[in-house]
Structure 1
Amino acid sequence: PVVPENMPQWGFMMKRKLFSFSGNDFRIRDYTGRDVVLVKGKMLSMRAKTMITGLNGQKMLQISKKLYGFHNTHYIRDPNTDEILAVARKRCFTPFKTVIQLYSGDNADKSEHLMFTMKGDFIGYRWSIIASNGECVAKATS
């Protein structure tokens, strides 16, 4: 579960399958086990498209992968087509540590558009989210 520091217990849980005939569909649940959103992946999609919907089927976010680029780049679009660009960068000397930077708009690598940085070990599910002002806003552990 994801729990910000100094907050009462809350958070989200997800259990993603390594392979699924349904296109990698799964549910995100709150800490009590109730479904919050559905994640629907398209099977055999070149851009690895994923849609996050409410329980009523209303589209909330669409995530697609950039086909070619130096970094592993995903575009996150809301229903109003505003974009947030996520850039994943592997650290050279520690292959299991990852840094993901979220930018507003399509302004990757421009520090004035940086919103959040996620750092951690995503295989061991230990990471933190840091706002652009340097404040740690959330941590997660397995």
Structure 2
Amino acid sequence: MPSGPHRRPRSPPAGPSSSARPSSGTPRSNTDGSSRPRREEPFRTGHSAGSFLDARLARGLTTIVDSTNLRALVRAGLLARAAHWQRPTVAVLFDVPLATVEAQNAGRDRVVRADVVREFHGLLPTADQLHDEGWPTVHLASPLTRPAR
């Protein structure tokens, strides 16, 4: 596993809009009428998520895609987008034991069927699989979530 974050050179993508990239810290009007910097906008879901992701990456903004991404094809699409915009990528793998996931699920207001939980847990990739797919840096969440002694 590589040490430290992987970084690519920050040259703008080719194309007519590459010279018109706004500064990430410049306040602009948002769709909700606020003037907070757009870098604080939450990630959107639905059909516009791809164009929203591309817009952030094109502006060189740090962008977190919070999604389960159990399918290698979906993860490959995220890597391709980041490569297109010459942005670094990092995967965070929530390597939680199935028994812990099942216990947390049982305490939810809207419990997910046990067979679905088991199926999804079985689809989680390993850190080695993520590296083989092209993720240069993979952080395991388990050391981050253990209580201090």
* TM surpasses 0.5: no
| Greater relative CO (CA pairs within 8 A, separation 6+) | 2
Task: Report the TM-score, using the length of structure 2 for normalisation.
Answer: 0.28
More helix by share: 2
By percentage of residues, which structure has more strand? 1
Instruction: Give the TM-score normalised by the residue count of structure 1.
Output: 0.29
